Structures are given as structure tokens and as C-alpha cells.
Structure 1
Amino acid sequence: MNATDRTPADLLRSALAADPARPLVTFYDDATGERVELSVATFANWVAKTANLLQDELNAEPGDRLALLLPAHWQTAVWLLACSSVGVLADVGGAAADADLVVSGPDSLDAARACSGERVALALRPLGGRFPQPPDGFMDYAVEVPSQGDRFAPYAPVDADAPALAVDGVELTGAEVVRRALADAAELGLGPGGRLLTGRSYDTWEGLSAGLFAALAAGGSVVLCRNLEQVAEGGLEKRIESERVTLTVD
């Protein structure tokens, strides 16, 4: 992190400048056996493409509210940073009817249809795969995002003091997200090069911080585990060893 970093998008830019090759997010889904590892550079590329999709295809503007109806997943982390890049408020688990646009997983499509604005659906299949049959009324993220630009520049400056994240009934500015993430990293003892494993969901600040923001702020990385309760006996210990985990939170 640099002293001038005031938003999560700033943190990502600093991480990219410092060491683009290091791991940032390693994702496991113990229900499917999926493992995906994204370096800072690869993650930042996904964020840039998604931010371009938001700004150019979905016409999102700073101050818009996006209902993010996705589980803890590497693609959810991408959307969180893309929203920060554009200046869109990411409302995690928020009411679709109150949002300007909605991003949904396969299990929340019915709730997402309450949004009268743009709707994007993610299949959450391994390797970022698309829906076999796109859901009616939704843009298939996996179809649209690959053609987006690899670099992103916002049309308007992002205000670090504007609301950037809503979760569990609390709204935070971009600057508050950064401050909280730094405080959490210090409390956890997570520093540069640290590797945090978590199975927390993304529906609370604690889950979002452990699963993304604290590691990003500290110059560390996260091993994000979905459906961790389904891990095979002895599998967690092996994962901790093989992934060189330095800290775990449950």
C-alpha cells in the first residue's frame, strides 16, 4: 500500500506496481473440486475488463448502486474491485428492486429480476464458464467480458469519500474500506507476503475483509474456500501446507 491509496482500486494499482506476479486470490470450491489461482496481474486484468463492461456496456456511473448477489467467489472479488474502479456502490446481498443494476449468480436469478435496470448473470462454473443456456433478461458475464479492454480509465474521478460498499446494513466509503482493511490486517498480524485462508461467506464485513480486503491492503494474499465444510478428511491440513498458508480464520 502507498500513502496515497484511498480506495480499494488504489490498493490494487499499488499491488500491481509492486509485484504483479505474486498470487493474490486462490479460490477453492470443495463442492466441485475447482481450484483457481490468480496473480495480481491476472486479477487486475479481470477487474479492468469488468470495469470496462460496467462503464461502457452497462452505462454505470459514479454513485449508482449495484446489487451484488454472489457468494464468496473469485469472480465476486473481481466485481467488488471493478465497482470501486468505476465509483459504483457495491451493495452485497442488497435488494435488487432498490438497485440501478444487479449482478447475480445462478441461485439468485429470481431475486435479481426485481431490478428494473441492467442485469448480469454469472454461471460461477469452473474456469469462468458461461451458462449452457443464458437466463432470460440477463447478460451472460462470461460471454461479454472477454472482449472488453485490458486497461481501464474512469470517465470521472472516483471520490474516496463517497459510499463504495454496503454490507450487512452498513455503508462504507472507499476510504473507510481501506482504513478498516488495514486495521483488520494489523489485528490479524497479516503483513506483506502473508497468506490468509478463510472459509467465511461474503455477507458480512468480516467475511469480505478476511476474503479480500485485508490481504489486499497488507500486501498479502488470500486462499478463499467455498463449501469448506465439504473438504475431505485431512484435506484442510494438506491445503494449508501446500498453499503455504500463514494464517487461518473461520
Structure 2
Amino acid sequence: MSHDTVTGAIFAAVPDHARPMLTYYNESTGERTELSGATLGNWAAKIANYLRDGLGLAPGDRVRVDLPEHWQTAAVLLGAWWAGVAVDLSDDAADDRATFTSRERVDEHDTDEVIAVPLDPFAMGVRDLPVGVEDFGESVRAHGDQFVPAGSGRDAVDEVTVAQVLSAADGGLDPADRLLSTRGWRTVTDVVANLAAPLLSGASLVVVAGGVEDSRLRAIAETEKATVVRT
């Protein structure tokens, strides 16, 4: 696996691909989804293959990601970075080739390709999509779960470069840690600090979204055997 991409470096830092790498809680919906390094890697590979083989994107191309914190969002980011594709979070990017967004926001985007992401536990199909909008599950599942990158563009997310993200590994964590975090991924700073940096350290990440009381957060931390909690 090439370490020249952000995703390659992230998976290279994982000490055991059979252990949980990302666990996602949404307290509003009751969802808990746990993905091992192998499973998250398979999803990232499918997305990278889809971007390269399905949409014809090459390293240095750009996609827009307009999604909340979710395990599928993490898979999209990892897939894009593995394909060498930069991710734009801002609305003012003019050269995005595709957009990943929720069903509720598909009408907000007019890139060549718009992909509706279900944001459910199993990546099931999205119903009643407008003409021209692709369903994430249907589009991605058909692609292979192994990926060999062809290189990387300059940027990883907005104007933050691949090199800058690769240098951002969280020095306060190590591969033995299990980080429970309620911190967001909505800005470029947050994506780097709260998603990429912990994963680059090799730590396992437990993401709690949807708002949670302190007592519930303590209970989740105990259940998940978290060694570090960040809110």
C-alpha cells in the first residue's frame, strides 16, 4: 500500500486491521456502527475505484463533500484521498468534478456528478432521487475492494496540502489508544484535527454525534474502553 497518499499513511499506521478502527454513534437515531480497519479499507477502496474507474477522476482532481459526521463520510474522505483526489468543504470551489451529499441537499449542488449518500447504518439505497443524481450504495458497491493508488495531487482538503495533513499526526495519541470524540468534521481544520490526525497516529476512533449528556458520554466511554475522551 502506498504511503504517499493520506489514506495509505492512515492504514499503514493501523497495528491490526482486524480490530475496530472507527466506531460511530448517533445518539439522535440510536445508530452504532463499528468498522474494522479491513472493513473501512474495503469501503475506501470501493470509493477510490469508483472515482477513478467510474467517474474518470485522476490525482489532482477535486470533489465536494457536503456531509455531516458519519462513518460513510469518513469512507468518502478516505476514498478520495486514496485516489489522490482533493476534497473541498467550502461552497465556493468552482472546479469540483463531483459532489457527495445527503438526500436532503442534492438540489443545492450542480456539479457534473451528484452522489446521494444515505447516512444509515448499512449504506442502503436512497429512494426517489431526482434524475441525474446517483445513489451512493448502488454506484459504489459494484467496485472492487482493493485499490492501488496512482499517486496524489497537491491538496488533500481545501487548500491544505497532502504533506501538511501527513505531518499532522496526533502526537498525544498512539496505536494503543481508543479515542472517544464528540468533535466535528465540518471545517477543514476540524477534518484534519479530529479525523485525519487521530487516525494517522494509529489510534482507534469512536465518534459520538447527535448531542449527548455527560452521563451518557461517560457510559459510552466505559463501554468502548476509551483511553482518551475529547469534547
Counterpart code for 2:49 = N
Selected match of 1:175 from 155, 163, 166: 163
Question: Which residue is equivalent to 1:202?
Answer: 185
Counterpart code for 1:173 = T
Q: Does 1:192 align with 2:175?
A: yes
Residues 53-68 of structure 1 mapped to structure 2, 5 A cutoff: 53-68=50-65
Residue 241 of structure 1: how far off its partner (Å)? 0.3
Number of matched residues? 231
TM-score normalized by structure 1? 0.85
Q: Does 1:121 align with 2:120?
A: no
Residue 93 of structure 1: how far off its partner (Å)? 4.0
Aligned mates of 1:74, 1:199 — CA distance in 2: 13
Selected match of 2:8 from 6, 10, 16: 10
| 1:200-248 deviation per Cα after TM superposition (whole angstroms, max 9, x unaligned) | 2212244324542122111101111221x2x367321110100111112
Structure 2 vs 1, CA of residues 242 and 206 (structure 1 numbering), >3 Å: closer, same or farther? Answer: farther
Counterpart code for 1:222 = L
* Kept after mapping to 2: 8 A contact 1:21/1:41: yes
* Kept after mapping to 2: 8 A contact 1:70/1:93: no
Residue 127 of structure 1: how far off its partner (Å)? 1.5
Aligned mates of 2:52, 2:118 — CA distance in 1: 21
Counterpart code for 2:224 = E
* Kept after mapping to 1: 8 A contact 2:102/2:116: yes
Unaligned runs of 5+ in 2: none
Unaligned runs of 5+ in 1: none
Aligned mates of 1:236, 1:81 — CA distance in 2: 27
Indicate the larger mover: 217-226 or 205-214. 205-214
Q: Which has the higher helix share?
A: 1
Residue 39 of structure 1: how far off its partner (Å)? 0.5
Aligned mates of 2:164, 2:147 — CA distance in 1: 23
Q: Does 1:225 align with 2:213?
A: no
Aligned mates of 1:15, 1:44 — CA distance in 2: 13
* Kept after mapping to 1: 8 A contact 2:181/2:229: yes
Structure 2 vs 1, CA of residues 241 and 222 (structure 1 numbering), >3 Å: closer, same or farther? Answer: same
Question: Which residue is equivalent to 2:229?
Answer: 248
Residue 60 of structure 1: how far off its partner (Å)? 1.1
The percent of aligned pairs where both chains have the same amino acid is 37
Aligned mates of 2:39, 2:166 — CA distance in 1: 22
* Kept after mapping to 2: 8 A contact 1:8/1:174: yes
